[in-house]
Amino acid sequence: MLIKRGDIFYADLDPVVGSEQGGIRPVLIVQNNVGNKHSPTVVVVPISSVRKKDLPVHIQIRCSGLPKNSTVLAEQIRTIDRRRLQKYVGSLDREFMKEIDRILKISIGVNFDE
């Protein structure tokens, strides 16, 4: 399966503990393409169709393969085995991925401008 940064797949995120996002849900691939090509795991952020609190680590997305407008939850970054990935949904364009990068930096406390 070809996996690229910015792709959206449905993935089975169970089992979970506590407040982790679980179940079969869309996820956004945020890992770089070298890792996507060679690693048995992928780094993802879950996507929820339920409107969450407005946090600086959330961003609304529209993707034709998703039934509803949804929210990327960048505080829930997770590494999963690629075998958890199921159906391909679509992908976000490069410009929108810059916004994803911005909220990921907030989530993990990285500031490249310092």
pTM over 0.85, yes/no:
yes
Chain-centroid distance of CA 15 in Å reads 18
**What pLDDT sits at residue 34?**
98
Question: What is the residue-averaged pLDDT of the chain?
Answer: 92
CA distances from 85 to 67, 79, 81 (A): 18, 12, 8
**CATH topology classification for 7-108:** SH3 type barrels. (2.30.30)
**30 in Cβ contact with 42 (< 8 Å):** no
Q: Please confirm whether the linkage preceding 67 is cis (ω < 30° from 0).
A: no
Residues 70-80 pLDDT 10s: 999 999 999 99
Of 65, 20, 73, nearest to 48 (Cα)?
73
Domain chopping of the chain, boundaries: 7-108
